Structure 1
Amino acid sequence: MVSNVSTDIRLVVLDMAGTTVADGGLVEQAFSKAAERLGVEPGSQDHAEKLQYVRDTMGESKITVFRALFGDEEKAQLANARFEEAYGELVNGGKIAPLPGAEEAIGRLKAEGRTVVLTTGFARATQDAILSALGWHDLVGLTLCPADAGRGRPYPDMVLAAFLRTAAVDGVRQIAVAGDTAYDMLSGVRSGAGLVAGVLTGAHDEQALKEAGATHVLASVAELPDAIAAFENATTP
C-alpha cells in the first residue's frame, strides 16, 4: 500500500514581472518599440488591437504571443528579438524594482526550508538582465525561462521542470505556484500543484485569476508565506 504524499509545501514556483518584480508597464513599452520596427504604426487600429492582445496574454511565452500576432515564423522571431532588446534596454535604464515585500517573502520561504524557483515568460537573456538589475542572481538556487523547460505558460512545463530539477518534493501536491496572470494559474493547475495563488499586483484581476483556477487570490506576494502556512494547517489531519 502506497502512503499519501504530505501536503506540506516544499517547492514554491514564483513568476517574476508583476508578481515579484514591478516593471511599470515595460512590457507594453517594449512591445510598442518592437512593433514599430516591424511597421506597425503607433496610434493605428492595428497597433491598438495588437497591444490589447499583448495585455490579454500577459504571462504567456513571448515568442508564442508574437507567433499569434505576426503569423509567419520569421516575423515572429524578429518581433521577439526586437521586443527582448527593447525590454533589456529599459531594464538596464533602471526602470525596474522588486515589488514591496517580495524579497522578504522569498527570504521567509527559504528560512522555512522551502525551495524557491523564479520563472518568466521572457527569454533567458532578458531574465538574466532583470536578475542582474535587481542583484538577484544569488537570491534563489534556480531560475527558469520557457526555453529551459520546453514550453512556456499556460503549459505546466516550467513548474514540472522545477519539480524535476530541484528534487525538493515527493509529489506535485507539495508545490505552490504564484503569479499575476491567468496563464500562471493555468500552468499551476495543469502541473497539479496543491496551491495556486494569484496576486493582484500585475496584469489580471481577481475574476480572471479565479476563472483560470486560482485556489487563493492575494493582494501581493508578501501574503504568500502566511497563505501557505494556513493551507498547510487546513490540510493537515
Structure 2
Amino acid sequence: MTFRLALFDIAGTTVSDPGFVAQAFVGAMSAAGHPIDHEACRPLMGYPKPLAIARLLGTQADDPRIAAIHADFVQRMLVCYREWPGIEPLPGAESVFAVLRANGIQVALNTGFSRDIADAIVERLQWSQRIDALIASDEVAQGRPAPDMIHALMQRLRIDDPAQVIKIGDTEVDIGEGRAARVGLVVAVTTGAFTRAELEPYAPDRIIDGLFELPALLGLDASDRDARHAAA
C-alpha cells in the first residue's frame, strides 16, 4: 500500500508537554471548585477537552458547568502556548515531516484541543509551511475516538481510501481513532501520556519510542538531503 497522508497528534506526539495540559486542567477545575490532581488527567489525554471535563466532573455532556471550565482551560492553554518557555517540537518531529513530504506523503496534525489552541501551537512553532493540514476536535461533530477528523481531512485532501492514511499518536484514543477510521497503519509513540506497557493493550500496529523511528518503519530514505529538500 502506498501511503498518502501521515496524521499526527500534537501534544505528546509532535510537541513536548512537560505537564502543561494537566496543569491547565487542574487549574481550571480547581478555580471552578472541583479540585483534582494531575494523575486524574492522564487517562483523558487525547480526548476532546469538553468530554474530558465532563468525565472529570462525573457528569453528562450537557452539564452547564462544562462550558465555563472549558473556557478557562482554553485561556490557560493559550497563555501557555503563546508565552511559556519549553514549548518545542519533540525530537525528530520536524525532520520526519520533511522526510515524509519529500517522499510524497502529506503531513497533517489533529488534536483534542479546540482550533484556537491548535492555531497558537502552529504559529508558535512556525509550522504552517511544514504541514499540509490541521484540524481540531471542535471542527467536527465528534472528536476522538470517533473517526470524524480523519474523514474530514481525507475529504479535504482528496484521499478516498483510508488504507492510504497513517495515524500516529501517544494515547489510547489516538489508536481508537485510527481503528475507527480503518486507516492503513496505526502507530503509537511513547513520548507522551502513556508508556509502552500502557499502550500495548490497545493493540496499535506498531509502538515506537520516538518519531525518528518512523521513516525506517515505513521503508523511507531519511537522509538529510531529503529533509532539506522538503523543508526548502
TM-score, normalized by length of structure 1? Answer: 0.86
2:98 is the counterpart of 1:101: no
Work out the CA distance in 2 between the residues paired with 1:208 and 1:228: 24
Alignment of 1:1-237 (within 5 A): 7-41=1-35, 47-48=36-37, 51-70=38-57, 71=59, 73-93=63-83, 94-167=85-158, 169-229=159-219
Q: 2 CA distance for matches of 1:192 and 1:18?
A: 23
1:170, CA displacement in angstroms?
4.0
Q: Distance in 2 between matches of 1:140 and 1:21?
A: 14
CA distance in 1, matches of 2:195, 2:116: 29
Q: Which amino acid aligns with 2:196?
A: E
Q: Determine the C-alpha separation between the residues in 2 that align with 1:65 and 1:27.
A: 12
Q: Secondary structure at the match of 1:22?
A: coil
Give 3-state SS (helix, strand or coil) of 1:144's partner.
strand
Instruction: Point out 4+ residue stretches in structure 1 off by more than 6 angstroms.
Output: none
CA RMSD of aligned residues (A): 1.5
Which deviates the most, 97-106 or 52-61?
52-61
State TM-score, norm by structure 2: 0.88
> Between the two proteins, what is the percent identity of the paired residues?
33
Query: How far apart, in 1, do the equivalents of 2:149 and 2:200 lie?
Result: 21
Contact 1:173 1:192 in 2 (8 A): yes
* Partners of 1:25 and 1:69 in 2: CA distance: 17
TM-fit CA distance, 1:129: 0.9
CA contact (8 A) 1:9 1:228 kept: no
How far 1:69 sits from its partner (Å)? Answer: 2.3
Given that 1:131 and 1:137 are in contact with CA atoms closer than 8 Å, whether structure 2 keeps it comes out as yes
For structure 1, the 5+ residue unaligned runs are 1-6, 42-46, 231-237
Q: Quick one: distance in 2 between partners of 1:164 and 1:210?
A: 31
